[in-house]
């Protein structure tokens, strides 16, 4: 336990440094945006003198490092700036949009993990037999399917052709949970299937490796029930897939942005699209920074889970 706490504190301690690096990268990259904040704020009818006054009042003429430290100071106060007219706090827009993106990511993650465990375990148990061959072909096909293309196919088949689900839009779960589930099912499936296919291959490989170990042969020879053996083997086999789960969650967070645009969901994807098309650097900066920090937090949580399921690493 002491070793686990020491490693956990080490992971958490480096988070502020990584967050600082993320803020620097996002800030510097977006400074090369061709969008003019003064033009976006005042409109195309503003005079050059008014634009120059706006730039001076908001520190746009200051050196880059001065603007960066001013940006950090605003972040520490929870101030991400305001959107272009109609002016709204960027933090308020993100606070409204990010929960939807998080709902979609978590729902897609739960579906991906359930499918991956089922397919991976069955494929390993029935190794080299027809269930294994079927799951392996499906997993290879799933890895090759882009989420956005899969989303379009799901809309055509299950929304337009069969009418089972809406083509887009969002229903708040507080208003109608069945309506929320209907509006989120197709986006979650489109987001989950490629990740599930990739994870299923990892689960199968790890399960096959564990099933060939001596302790499994001993357990079978002792007459232990197969379900008990599989449960014990699965715990050890999940160590390797868990190491890549953080990356997969990050992929799902970024993929959710694209899926939201396809299904017209008012999440972070819509904010980024609105910021890019409207030249709103502040809105893009705030949304990208939020997603990047969320990705970092998820990876730290996965690292801690990895420490829990793999005691051997605690001695490193």
Query: Is 184 a residue whose pLDDT tops 90?
Result: yes
User: What is the structure's pLDDT at 225?
Assistant: 84
User: What is the structure's pLDDT at 193?
Assistant: 92
Residue 66 CA to residue 22 CA, distance in Å, equals 17
Residue 148 CA to residue 276 CA, distance in Å, equals 19
159 Ramachandran zone, left/alpha/beta (phi>0; psi -120 to 50): alpha
Residue 285 CA to residue 282 CA, distance in Å, equals 5
User: What is the structure's pLDDT at 110?
Assistant: 92
Q: Which residue has the higher pLDDT, 72 or 243?
A: 72
Residue 282 CA to residue 247 CA, distance in Å, equals 27
User: What is the structure's pLDDT at 43?
Assistant: 67
The mean pLDDT of 225-234, rounded to a whole number, is: 83
Q: Are 166 and 159 in contact (CB under 8 A)?
A: yes
Residue 27 CA to residue 265 CA, distance in Å, equals 27
pLDDT in tens, 24-60: 988 888 877 777 677 667 766 777 787 778 777 777 7
pLDDT in tens, 247-286: 788 788 878 888 988 898 998 988 888 888 877 888 888 8
């Amino acid at each position: 336990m002491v070793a686990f706490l020491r490693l956990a504190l080490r992971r958490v301690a480096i988070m502020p440094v990584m967050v600082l690096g993320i803020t620097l990268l996002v800030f510097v990259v977006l400074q090369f945006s061709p969008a003019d904040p003064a033009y976006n704020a005042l409109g195309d009818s503003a005079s050059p003198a008014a634009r120059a006054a706006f730039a001076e009042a908001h520190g746009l003429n200051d050196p880059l490092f001065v603007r960066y430290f001013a940006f950090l100071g605003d972040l520490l106060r929870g101030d991400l700036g305001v959107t272009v007219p109609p002016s709204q706090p960027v933090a308020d827009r993100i606070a409204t949009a990010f929960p939807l993106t998080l709902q979609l990511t978590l729902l897609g993650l739960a579906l991906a993990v359930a499918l991956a465990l089922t397919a991976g375990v069955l494929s390993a148990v029935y190794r080299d037999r027809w269930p294994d061959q079927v799951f392996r072909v499906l997993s290879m096909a799933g890895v090759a399917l882009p989420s956005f293309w899969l989303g379009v196919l799901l809309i055509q088949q299950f929304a337009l052709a069969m009418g089972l689900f809406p083509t887009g839009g969002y229903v708040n779960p507080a208003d109608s949970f069945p309506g929320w589930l209907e509006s989120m099912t197709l986006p979650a499936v489109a987001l989950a299937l490629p990740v599930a296919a990739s994870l299923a291959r990892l689960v199968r490989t790890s399960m096959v490796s564990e099933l060939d170990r001596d302790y499994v042969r001993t357990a079978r020879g002792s007459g232990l029930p197969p379900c008990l053996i599989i449960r014990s083997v699965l715990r050890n086999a999940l160590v390797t897939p868990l190491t890549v789960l953080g990356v997969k969650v990050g992929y799902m967070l970024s993929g959710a942005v694209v899926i939201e645009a396809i299904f017209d969901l008012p999440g972070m994807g819509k904010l980024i699209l609105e910021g890019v098309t409207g030249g709103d650097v502040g809105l893009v900066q705030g949304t990208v920074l939020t997603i990047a920090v969320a990705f970092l937090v998820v990876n730290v949580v996965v690292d801690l889970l990895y420490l829990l399921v793999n005691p051997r690493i605690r001695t490193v």
